[in-house]
Structure 1
Amino acid sequence: MRYTVLTSAAVLAAALVLPGSALGSAPTAPTTPAVGMEQALQRDLGLTAEQSRIRQAHEAAAPVVEKQLRAALGDRFAGAWFAPAEGRLAVGVVTTRDAATVRAAGATPVLVARSEKQLAGLKAALDRTSADRSVFAWYVDPAANSVVVAAASTDAAERFVKASAIDPASVKLTIGEAPRTLYDIRGGDQYVINGNTLCSIGFSVAGGFVTAGHCGGAGSPTLGYNNVSQGTFAGSSFPNNDYAWVRTNGSWTPQPWVNNYGGGNVVVAGSQESAVGASICRSGRTTGWRCGTVQAKNVTVNYSGSLVYGLTQTNACAEGGDSGGAWMSGNQAQGVTSGGSGNCSTGGTTFFQPVNEILGAYGLSLTTSGGGGSTSRIIGWQGKCIDVPNSNGVPGQRLQLWDCNGTNAQNWTWPGDGTIRAFGLCMDVAWGSTANGAAIQLASCSGNPAQQFVLSGAGDLVNPQANKCVDVTGWGGTGTPLSQWECTGGANQKWYRG
């Protein structure tokens, strides 16, 4: 039998009739360990532990005071900002008679020239003005009582301001580097090699992702699914082996996920090798999520005279462009697609390169959801813990935020399978919902996607199926129920293990 290498590109059409098919590539992995909010504040703002706690307490009160004063001052309100030196909220006022009102509310009054409404009008004028790529951003800075224009040069910023016809005296200029958008790397997603060959991502690793060697040679550039510059093949081996890894640039963020092509993701918890006969599924950009069983290991495959050793054989189908894509057994990474015969209409045989061999060959570290059986508290907003109310560990019990107290109601076990457990039950998104506001609860452990969670290096506790964060509803305090919500980066969605 002849097998086909499964890349996908017009210039490689001839390769599609070769024995064996290569399908896929892998994502990058984070190297920064997760830290809690207080530790991060101490590290990044130069605070002591006590200063961090005091600052967070004052900042928690600030939104309430701001809302009150905005209503009281109306059009005379001139913005609000937290003033670290004073440890309290500062509020801009345009008349001295409003200063007493601000002080009575517990904030510091600052006399300024422009109201918030006037500043918003200035920004609106900038919004209506055409900007070239040398002008990066513009916004209202209430503390400076002006609008800020960020650009590559003073000349570019001044031209933009002049075109808007607003008073230059109301503008503050900042000169710097252009911002860039950031993208996720996910197993099974498409990437492009040398501008013309399509393959699929395998798994995230530290510094990049792993993929099939026949997809590209060392030094080949890659583009992401969106045709944005992604990285370069740092190593590649084909034939004999069929593996490679791509070192990615700073615009791409690795995730321990694989695309299930059903609107969700499968969490990668580890890389324990499954047995012959075990069920297995693969993800690829051409034919999506396909499953079968492991038929044989350590298979030598002859791709039209090019021998590859040590592959695993399956009866899951694949087609051109699926090369390099991720193979999963449960939540364990298995390998990246190499090649095969047949197709997903009539069925076929597909081979993959075991992932542990790739990791060992290049000294790479697989990006996973973490775990390992350890138990810890999950600490977040206001230094409080995720809690099972009244230690009542029953299915359907909604989780809440509560003062950390060291009881079993706040002890969470991370077994390494993507679940987080207490009282023998799993943290769960009610009804498997992907909507904002869905309750975070306990449920009998089933391993379904609603019970998979990833605590990222940024402190987001994410359900990959919904790609949403565990959220303290309405920024409440002790006793507030937890919900699922679109990730905003807010402090009410930041968590750490402690």
Structure 2
Amino acid sequence: MKRRFATRIVGAAVLAAGTFAPMTVSATTPQAAAATPLEAMQRDLGLTRDQALEQLDEQAQAARTEQLLRGSLGETYGGAFFDSQQGKLVVGVTDPAKFGDVQAAGAQPRTVRFSSSRLDDVVRGLNEYRTRARDDSGVTGWYSSARDNQVTVTAKPGARAEAMRFVHDAGVDTAPVRVVESRETPRTLADVIGGNAYTINNSARCSVGFSVDGGFVSAGHCGKPGDRTATPSGSFQESTFPGNDYSWVKVDSGETPKPLVNNYQGGTVAVAGSNEATEGAAVCRSGSTSGWHCGTIQAKNQTVQYPEGTVNGLTRTNACAEPGDSGGSWLAGDQAQGVTSGGSGDCSSGGTTYFQPVNPILQAYNLKLLTQ
């Protein structure tokens, strides 16, 4: 594919441009949204219609290839990302002798220093240390990136030395780690509605993520077991936050979960499955505060330190979101990806938004995603 376009990337300086303020129920008004999810991709990613359709096909194939190579390459697998400029999956390997295997699968190989499992071990070690250490390091989060082949630890401005000490004290392998100062101040987005609205205990509002047998999944910070919901009516059965950020609500008799996501222009997107998109792939999210917006997956297995506590295993994106978009749906084409957790910035200046992947939610609570 021959195309050159600029996907909007939001830098650390922009992340401080806006902090999310609570919004009342009566003040909530959806922003103007693109007429269709495909048009939202064109708007947010700078694509023509044909380019957007082509990229969806390419990244769907990339996701299948990534899963295949992740298993076959074993400990030599160094992560993968989708290169939207070339329309190809790029796969890192620690052993150049595996180049032929990658090429045979239709992907582009590159030599990397660290295996994916080595990076995951660093993230796991930081997660474990965080559960028993005082939070006085100025660290705001950490994530592994296949494109960078390293673990990035983000710290508040001026806290670089503290963050480096945090990494050292955690006892993890420091070779793959870099520390970056950022003005990003992540917070959860449960102030008002996002996606399809529902209220919790007749006060706070969040959004429906995806329909499952008997109810729907959403963000964990939206409610705790026993809390009642309205429109749709039901009750929280399970909820995890912090640590993770997911929950599921069992709806009352008369409510009918359907495998659809609202695009806020009188249409819906049918959910066909939950195949996980690769790093670099385009994703779109639904939220009734800011409408339908798209971006790209920047990293997976992100750890974020919210004021309420640390959440592990999030996916980092450069799609924008605003208060009230919490719990809302994330899609790659027609494949469910996750539910909105939190972020920084807004849809005027841009920002960083994190979502909780949907498959771990389904597995944790033994739920079946409704598909069409």
Q: TM-score when scaled to structure 2?
A: 0.50
Look up the equivalent residue of 1:281 and give its one-letter code: C
Query: Structure 1's 350 and 332: CA in aligned 2 closer, same or farther, altered over 3 A?
Result: same
Cα deviation for residue 10 of structure 1 reads 5.0
Alpha-carbon distance, 1:232 to partner: 0.4
What letter corresponds to residue 19 of structure 1 in structure 2?
Answer: P
C-alpha distance in 2, partners of 1:287/1:293? 17
* Residue identity matched to 2:203: N
Q: State the Cα deviation string for residues 469-489 of structure 1 (Å, max 9, x = none).
A: xxxxxxxxxxxxxxxxxxxxx
Deviates more, 1:187-196 or 1:335-344: 187-196
The aligned counterpart of 2:327 is: 324
Partners in 2 of 1:7 and 1:333 — Cα distance? 28
Higher-Rg structure is 1
Amino acid at match of 1:20: R
- 1:217 deviation in Å? 1.0
Report what 1:112 is aligned to.
Answer: none
Q: 2 CA distance for matches of 1:357 and 1:273?
A: 11
Q: Percent identity?
A: 57
- Other structure's SS at 1:358 match: helix
The match for 1:189 among 180, 186, 196 is 196
Question: Aligned to 2:274, what secondary structure does the other structure show?
Answer: coil
User: 1:23 touches 1:336 (CA, 8 Å); kept in 2?
Assistant: no
Equivalence map 1:59-208=2 (5 Å): 188-208=195-215
Residue number among 304, 309, 320 corresponding to 1:306 in the alignment:
309
Q: Give 1:461-476 correspondences, 5 Å limit.
A: none
Question: What's the C-alpha RMSD, in Å, of the aligned pairs?
Answer: 2.8
CA contact (8 A) 2:19 2:345 kept: no
CA contact (8 A) 1:268 1:333 kept: yes
- CA distance in 2 between counterparts of 1:24 and 1:326 reads 17
CA deviation after TM superposition for structure 1 residue 9, in Å: 5.7
For 1:257-307, what per-residue CA distance to the aligned partner results, in whole angstroms no more than 9, with x for missing partners? Answer: 100112211110000000000000000121111100000000000102610
Aligned to 2:189: 22
For 1:290-332, what per-residue CA distance to the aligned partner results, in whole angstroms no more than 9, with x for missing partners? Answer: 1000000000001026100000000000011100000000000
User: 1-side partners of 2:219 and 2:327: how far apart?
Assistant: 4
SS at match of 1:254: coil
Superposed displacement of residue 24, structure 1: 11
Unaligned runs of 5+ residues in structure 1 are 12-16, 26-186, 370-498
Q: Kindly provide the CA deviation profile for residues 128-152 of structure 1, in whole angstroms up to 9, marking residues without a partner as x.
A: xxxxxxxxxxxxxxxxxxxxxxxxx
**Residue 168 (structure 2) aligns with:** none
Alignment partner for residue 368 of structure 2, among 358, 365, 370?
Answer: 365
How far the C-alpha of 1:188 sits from its partner, in A, is 2.1
Letter in 2 for 1:252: E
Quick check: 1:9–1:197 contact (8 Å CA) kept in 2? no
Q: Which has the higher contact order (CA 8 A, sep 6+)?
A: 2
State how far apart, in whole Å, the 1-side matches of 2:304 and 2:238 are.
21
Does the Cα contact within 8 Å between 2:313 and 2:356 map onto a contact in 1? yes
Secondary structure of the structure 2 residue equivalent to 1:320: coil
- Provide runs of 4+ in structure 1 moved above 6 Å: 1-7
The one-letter code sitting in structure 2 at the alignment partner of 1:193 is: I
Q: Which amino acid aligns with 2:187?
A: G
Letter in 2 for 1:195: N
Q: Does the 8 Å CA contact 2:191/2:323 hold for their aligned counterparts?
A: no
For 1:425-436, list aligned pairs within 5 A. Answer: none
Give the 3-state SS of the residue equivalent to 2:258 in structure 1: strand
Deviations 1:394-438 (A, max 9, x none): xxxxxxxxxxxxxxxxxxxxxxxxxxxxxxxxxxxxxxxxxxxxx
- Aligned-residue offset at 1:233: 0.6
How far has the Cα of 1:19 moved from its partner? 2.7
- Equivalent position amino acid for 2:213 in 1: A
